[in-house]
Chains A and B, each alone.
Chain A
Amino acid sequence: MTDKEQQHLKDLLKKSKVTTSEDFTDRLLVAIRQSEAPVEHRVSHKWWLIPLFLIAGGLIHFLAFRILNSTSPPPDWLPQGALAAKVIFSLILLLLLNASIRLSTQDWLSISVEQQE
């Protein structure tokens, strides 16, 4: 492409500049305020579930193991059962963690707008 053609294309594409709405900056400042205020509340509100779930799960696991182990003789499926319980428990924990992270980082406003749509 020659310099003249390049310049011509440049002039043409300069005309493709799009201008934002008049109230863009005002709306942006409102969005910034909204993004600042509720974050801590949202995060803490969702995150307290995780340690609670951990403690409750651990306690149930421990008690079930103690009870089953104290029977005489202990059931022969106990080691496999304990392993399966650990796997299921870990999966549930991962799912919960993932959901919690996603919920805490999403903008509630945009979710409610989508729901309205």
Chain B
Amino acid sequence: MGTSSTKSEIALIRQFVQRKDEQAFVTLVNRYKDLALSVAISVLKDKTWAEDAVQESFVKVYHSLPSLRRKAHFKTWLYRIVINTSYNERKRRRITVEYAEASQNAVTDITQLNTLREEDQKRYIKLALEQLKPDEALVLRLFYLLELRIKEIESSTGFSKAKIKVDLHRGRQNLSQILRTLLGSEIEDLL
């Protein structure tokens, strides 16, 4: 029998639901908390608010997990809760920011980033994602970071397939445009 950390998701859910085993729930939280935070931060653009939203989401998960019928869909269900909570929080806090819009001929070459140190790369990606529209940043992270398929993104966000594809396309364009702008002004200082 495997330890909690190596157990499958479904086994952990069963353990929690049937025996009210809190350790199983903590293992699930530890497995998904960072990814959930990355999702929430795409929408809220602020780590403290995003952490609050993720915490609220896990409280909802704790209470609603026993009623989840299709346990295999836990991951997309969790992300859906995180996304809905984040958008509600965004509405509640009335966050309005002007976001960057790439020109049609945005260059997709962002290989300049490879010449930077790991920490600087992370800083630039973080900055660029903060400037993206919430929907675009969210879809990019779900697709590339969480490696969800389009169908899974559909169920997690409630967005249509067409919107997801458009957001992916625009998100990629805008991301490269923002990175180019950021790198253009500062890369020489770093090299």
Footprint of B on A, CB under 8 Å?
Answer: 1, 5, 8-10, 12-21, 24-25, 27-29, 31-32, 35
Contacts and interface: CB of A to CB of B under 8 A. Distances in A.
Query: Which of A1, A18, A21 has the most chain B CB within a 10 Å cutoff?
Result: A18
A11 B26 CA distance: 28
B51 A31 contact: no
B172 interface: yes
A18 B47 contact: yes
| Chain B interface mostly | helix
Interface in B134-191: 140-141, 144-145, 147, 172, 175
27 contacts: A1-B108, A5-B108, A10-B144, A12-B125, A13-B125, A13-B141, A15-B125, A17-B38, A18-B34, A18-B41, A18-B47, A18-B50, A20-B33, A20-B37, A24-B51, A25-B33, A27-B55, A28-B58, A29-B22, A29-B26, A31-B55, A31-B56, A31-B59, A32-B58, A32-B62, A35-B59, A35-B63
Contact of B110 (A8, A25, A32): A8
B106 interface: no
B30 interface: yes
Given A20-B51, A27-B55, 18 more contacts: A1-B108, A13-B145, A15-B118, A16-B38, A16-B122, A16-B145, A18-B34, A18-B37, A18-B38, A20-B33, A20-B54, A24-B54, A25-B26, A25-B30, A28-B29, A31-B56, A31-B59, A32-B62
Contacts of A15: 118, 121-122, 125
A24 B125 CA distance: 24
| Chain A interface mostly | helix
Contacts of B175: 9
A17 B34 contact: yes
A32 B60 CA distance: 9
Nearest to B39: A18
Contacts of B126: 16
A28 B141 contact: no
Query: Which of B50, B51, B126 has the most chain A CB within a 10 Å cutoff?
Result: B51
B141 A16 contact: yes
B34 A13 contact: no
B63 A16 contact: no
